[in-house]
Structure 1
Amino acid sequence: MATYVPMTPEETRARLLYRDGLMLVLDKPAGVAVHRGPKGGASLEDDFDALRFGLPRNPALAHRLDRETAGCLVLGRHHKALERLGLLFKQGKIGKTYWAVVAGEPAAESGAIDLPLGRLDDTRGWWMKVDPEGQPALTLWRVRGRGLWREAAVAWLELEPKTGRTHQLRVHCAAMGWAILGDPVYGARADVPLQLLARKIVVPISKSGAPVEVEAPVPPHMREALAACGWAPDGVADPAPAAPDL
């Protein structure tokens, strides 16, 4: 695994998707851990000094994304903001939408995956599995496109996790028989980058105003597979029918 090289302040600020007095939303690049692990090493936190914008301290993570996942990452700008954001995440009030390209073809156009998750075993760190005795985990999904990519059937899914379990989307998709491409642990086609994007986040940070809605752009490493499923850079193509209410 390549060592992460911190971005320049200009590169870091160029990835900023949203900014107000309480929070920032950063377009996280794939392939970098959001925080230092137990063994140390470089992480995205090394870039946060460029995001102070006059405040005395760096912003801090309000939640986590996996190393290989790209897209919307929420940061709190100060202690009170982090407390507010932490409570919203804990209460499930923050809307999260992911895009994934999966191997195979879901039989339906939409559905819900309601499978509890638990630790795989004590030797595998954060690896997870479907476990009847585990924590409840719910993911809503719909197909946004289908196609062939590198001579194999693939599908473009929109995923909405209603709980925040570790590796939830990756384990749920694999359990349904259509694993996320590029997932070396649970998935298929480990020879490509993980095809998972934190596409949109909706944060009701204000008690009186409208929720903040932020979308991340499609990263270069996902464009080819998504295009094979009907995605277009201008956003016009969306061949899937509207999903029914779940």
Structure 2
Amino acid sequence: MTDEAFKREVKTLYVAEAEDGIRLDRWFRRRWPHLSNIQVQKMARSGQIRVDGARIKPEGRLTAGAAVRVPPIPDAVVRAPGEHQALSPADVAFAKSLVIYEDDLVIALNKPWGLAVQGGTKTTRHVDRLLSAWGEGMERPRLVHRLDRDTSGVLLLGKGPEAAKRLAGAFARRQAKKTYWALVIGLPKPTAGQIDLPLKKTGINDFEIMRPADAKEHGAEPAETAYALISHAGQRASWLALRPFTGRTHQLRAHMKAIGHPILGDTKYGDAVSAELSGPLKLQLHARRIELDHPSGGKLIVEAPLSPEMRAGFQHFGFEEAEADADPFAGVRRMR
């Protein structure tokens, strides 16, 4: 298929877990910043855009796992450099080097620190673009959830629309058991527990941040996280396992800051004390493990090796991977 033919193709994309509740028009603008509000409104009102087969208004809210019919998107007048170019052999090799598991229906990548999952106005190199390494059209894998740019670890892809729908549905129904590893400042007391604290998004673009909010506050979203201590370096720093039961933007980073133990290397949610302790360390947050139902049946369990950035943190504080249990949250359930 030529590049021009692919641009004209109608595509089906799936709403990521972290995008649950987002407005349709904003969902489109995040992916195609060059689109005007009028263009999105016209496509929605004419029925070109559909969600799970039904019409939707531009201001309609999307749910995680929903299938969005995306009509051919008009090109921007001024394109970001390299955004529409074919992948180079080096890009293809890099994409394939990230694979830690692959079968007929699923691909699991070990996403590196600093690589965005999806593109934006100033982001031309991202996972979504690299998926062309597997082909286009029906051959192209689908994203089913997201990780922050500076979070490393397991990122799942669905091969084909049906596999992607089933995987995304598992995330949307909170059936995926996700375990993150994080290095934080200080030693939490108690050393294990659950955080039930709504979060609200404030600011825009690079200045967007999640802050604690009252459950009744307009725009506040429920957010729940379990944590468990794995090891600690005296009172200075701790290695925690984190399990999000909800999928809010920056949830783990905002929750750890809220309880007074920001994640090391976090320039957005950290403070002066954590910045001093972090030194040159990058964000110490790693999506270590995902367990969920495989689209064809049975269980899918994938673990991602530590990134170089996380390994630097482990070496600095003297932590060893062997100290961790496979699932530190065995038997732990949501509070509600």
Contact map agreement 2:281 2:312 (CA 8 A) in 1: no
Distance in 1 separating the partners of 2:129 and 2:203? 31
Deviation at 1:57, TM superposition (A): 2.8
Distance in 2 separating the partners of 1:89 and 1:26? 17
Q: Which residue of 2 aligns with 1:94?
A: 176
Q: Which residue of 1 aligns with 2:299?
A: 211
Deviation at 1:136, TM superposition (A): 0.8
Deviation at 1:230, TM superposition (A): 5.0
Distance in 2 separating the partners of 1:161 and 1:9? 32
Deviation at 1:245, TM superposition (A): 5.2
Answering whether residue 237 of structure 2 is matched by residue 237 of structure 1, we say no
Deviation at 1:84, TM superposition (A): 1.3
Q: Which residue of 2 aligns with 1:18?
A: 101
Distance in 1 separating the partners of 2:314 and 2:281? 13
Distance in 2 separating the partners of 1:221 and 1:177? 23
Deviation at 1:178, TM superposition (A): 0.3
Contact map agreement 2:106 2:159 (CA 8 A) in 1: yes
Q: Tell me the amino acid that sits aligned with residue 306 of structure 2.
A: V
Contact map agreement 1:231 1:238 (CA 8 A) in 2: no
Report the structure, 1 or 2, having the larger strand content.
1
Answering whether residue 234 of structure 2 is matched by residue 154 of structure 1, we say no
Q: Tell me the amino acid that sits aligned with residue 91 of structure 2.
A: T
Q: Which runs of 5+ in 2 are unaligned?
A: 1-86
Contact map agreement 2:231 2:323 (CA 8 A) in 1: no
Larger Rg: 1 or 2? 2
Q: Tell me the amino acid that sits aligned with residue 144 of structure 1.
A: I
Report the structure, 1 or 2, having the larger helix content.
2
Q: State how 1:113-152 maps to structure 2 within 5 Å.
A: 113-121=195-203, 126-132=208-214, 133=217, 134-147=220-233
Contact map agreement 1:92 1:163 (CA 8 A) in 2: yes
- Give TM-score, length-normalised by structure 1: 0.85
Distance in 2 separating the partners of 1:40 and 1:178? 30
Q: Which has the higher contact order (CA 8 A, sep 6+)?
A: 1
Q: Report percent identity of matched pairs.
A: 36
Deviation at 1:125, TM superposition (A): 5.3
**Distance change in 2, residues 1:244/1:93 (3 Å):** closer
Q: Tell me the amino acid that sits aligned with residue 103 of structure 1.
A: I
**Distance change in 2, residues 1:79/1:123 (3 Å):** closer
- Give TM-score, length-normalised by structure 2: 0.63
**Distance change in 2, residues 1:24/1:107 (3 Å):** same
Deviation at 1:18, TM superposition (A): 1.2
Answering whether residue 127 of structure 2 is matched by residue 47 of structure 1, we say no
Distance in 1 separating the partners of 2:123 and 2:206? 19
Q: Which runs of 5+ in 1 are unaligned?
A: none
Deviation at 1:231, TM superposition (A): 3.0
Over the aligned positions, Cα root-mean-square deviation in angstroms equals 2.8
Deviation at 1:44, TM superposition (A): 2.0
Distance in 1 separating the partners of 2:324 and 2:222? 32
